[in-house]
Structure 1
């Protein structure tokens, strides 16, 4: 069967979709403090203020676009770097605020691992793109990660806490550690230091090989400070956007892709990385895809595989497409080509918004229409979708920026 990923027309389609996404999110450029939250029509939602994770992810996207030769993207990446070195950074206590009000004052001064993982990713991608100020940002965030988040004894990252670092959160999370793996691999490419990739391996070995691997690939998301799973965490807020109850199908898919990226970045990669990636992929397909009578991935599962939150999130399909492309390239197995096509067809039919731009971020589980006031409002950023249109035409690498920087 001919491969879509090597098809000339498919690659043209991917390029066109990338440019369409960039056109939409370019409107998020906030005059002073980073990138704003975009509504469904692409206009900035002023009352949302500026979130560090949005600004960092968009800086990463524009750095990738610059590396890919898109005129004007470098200027937008520079804007993000300046915001991350300026208004979003806490000059008094170090680290980064979670969010700012529209006037630039902190609306959320927590210091958590999730935000800081994306600052490291943005800094690494911008540094690989040669953007001014990126190297200094990379040094700064690298020092904060090592001082405040990385735990050498366990080989995992702690969560954050109060603005002055005086109290840390009584919680440990898989989601923030997963994004630290992604950011560490980008940092390894940007700095040339293998220590970042070795740290990423230690994180992945615990969460995937030890925890998920002994639970039939059902990965708990939430842990105590002693790294014991907390099964009922957020049982009263099951559709939480960052810390939902139960097993998050999209994270299982995302981990699978990151294991292949990690394997590529290591000189001597353990065999379990590929084996576990394929097992995680199979679990997500069998337990998460169209399991409740409607097309699409459910958001979360209970620990017995019963769907909990059935809403369809765009980022889950984006990660499914990405890992199918990566595993297909890595193994040559035609089943990944099959799913790659199925999920792109699904995205084209239901998620890609050809009228207003970008992708619908969330769909109702029954009608596959756009819900109002659910987990996600508007279309905050293009991180997942943009990476998904890039990955299928890149060689295997530790990071997207690393692959593009090597040409």
Structure 2
């Protein structure tokens, strides 16, 4: 296939993915996926019927991810939906300790008041995106207040961050973990677009150095899920792809740091050991042995994203064609497949459109 043919086919496949997102995915979360009485997105929909699954809880992180998606989506209806999500986010989940409760129950009453870094990171990200869309000054205020709480409460002496703290912030409940800090990186990059870029760049560089020192597995250069030395540690190819996309998009922030040097090698190793004809494998051990052979939709979108940002267009086209054929269906998507392509989860979580949105943003830059 010539370069022109590749570009033409890529443009058509990206257009089709965008159409599916705009005409199928977004409407479902403004319709049956949204609990109008509570003003909150349901946690999950049935993949076949599109009906909401019985509500057990609502998480702040899930609400924030939906806010991020609709803050980016075009049109007046999306903007109005973002307004409602933002109102519900701070009304339902903001707590009296200056943090964010992890979840509420099916009646929107407090359920889990743990101070969770992953949740706080998505609050920062969502408020940044919503402020850019709406210019709502309160969103910027909440973004900055949440970032301040993260730095004052979660940060450790070695530039890492506890994954979870007690409701009053006084006791660590979970040690530093890769995934919350990756999303904190994403959040701070977004926050720097609307406030205090030099300060957020300082935080980001310190965090990147902490990741390199404590999480990078030397033989593979991959960012492990837990601190180096943790028994039964895991390497997730999808997270290597996600890290590189973030760092690649802010090269000036991470210039000269070890993480910027190691991530391309981590991605190469992950492509060699963690991607096959069925897609991206969920996780491997540090020797490259498969731990979890599930093919999760988010890992596939992160693979597409990294291929887009690094310009590997022939591999991107092949992966995108496979993704559309295996993970999308007329009324939504398949969350998880096994190595043979069989569906292993029958739900569509409210958190997954966020991954589709970030993927589409990167893909759009390929053909713009």
TM-score by length of 1: 0.81
Cα shift at 1:209: 7.2
Cα shift at 1:11: 4.9
Deviations 1:18-63 (A, max 9, x none): 3132123223333325322121243332423211111111100111
Contact between 2:244 and 2:267, CA under 8 Å: does it hold in 1? yes
Deviations 1:171-198 (A, max 9, x none): 1101110000000000101214222123
Change (3 A) 1:167 1:275: closer
Cα shift at 1:206: 3.2
Partner of 1:237: none
In 2: Cα distance, 1:199 partner to 1:144 partner: 13
Contact between 2:99 and 2:115, CA under 8 Å: does it hold in 1? yes
Change (3 A) 1:346 1:50: same
RMSD of the TM alignment (CA)? 2.5
Partner of 2:67: 59
In 2: Cα distance, 1:193 partner to 1:50 partner: 32
Contact between 2:337 and 2:345, CA under 8 Å: does it hold in 1? no
Contact between 1:197 and 1:262, CA under 8 Å: does it hold in 2? no
In 2: Cα distance, 1:162 partner to 1:270 partner: 36
Cα shift at 1:73: 0.9
Partner of 1:13: 16
Partner of 1:229: 229
Cα shift at 1:387: 1.5
In 1: Cα distance, 2:123 partner to 2:221 partner: 29
Cα shift at 1:248: 1.3
TM-score by length of 2: 0.89
Partner of 2:339: 365
- 2:41 aligned with 1:35, yes or no? yes
In 2: Cα distance, 1:8 partner to 1:372 partner: 30
SS in 2 for 1:202: helix
SS in 2 for 1:163: coil
Partner of 1:247: 235
Cα shift at 1:286: 0.2
- 2:347 aligned with 1:339, yes or no? no
Partner of 1:240: none
In 2: Cα distance, 1:36 partner to 1:178 partner: 25
**What are the residue-to-residue correspondences of 1:4-403 with 2, within 5 Å?**
4=7, 9-20=12-23, 21-27=25-31, 28-31=33-36, 32-39=38-45, 40=47, 41-65=49-73, 69-90=74-95, 92-132=96-136, 133-151=138-156, 153-208=157-212, 211-212=215-216, 214-223=218-227, 228-232=228-232, 246-264=234-252, 266=253, 269-270=255-256, 275-290=261-276, 295-328=278-311, 336-354=312-330, 356-357=331-332, 359-366=333-340, 368-372=341-345, 377-381=347-351, 382-394=353-365
Cα shift at 1:305: 0.3
Change (3 A) 1:307 1:30: same
In 2: Cα distance, 1:98 partner to 1:200 partner: 24
Aligned pairs, how many?
357
Contact between 1:18 and 1:390, CA under 8 Å: does it hold in 2? no
Deviations 1:211-243 (A, max 9, x none): 4262322332113xxxx53133xxxxxxxxxxx
Deviations 1:74-110 (A, max 9, x none): 11111221122111111x2221111111111122221
Structure with greater proportional strand content? 2
Larger CA deviation: 317-326 vs 18-27: 18-27
* Structure 2: stretches of 5+ with no match in the other structure: none
Cα shift at 1:324: 0.8
Contact between 2:163 and 2:177, CA under 8 Å: does it hold in 1? yes
Deviations 1:276-330 (A, max 9, x none): 332222111101011xxx51111010111011110110000100001111111xx
Cα shift at 1:200: 1.7
SS in 1 for 2:134: coil
Cα shift at 1:129: 1.1
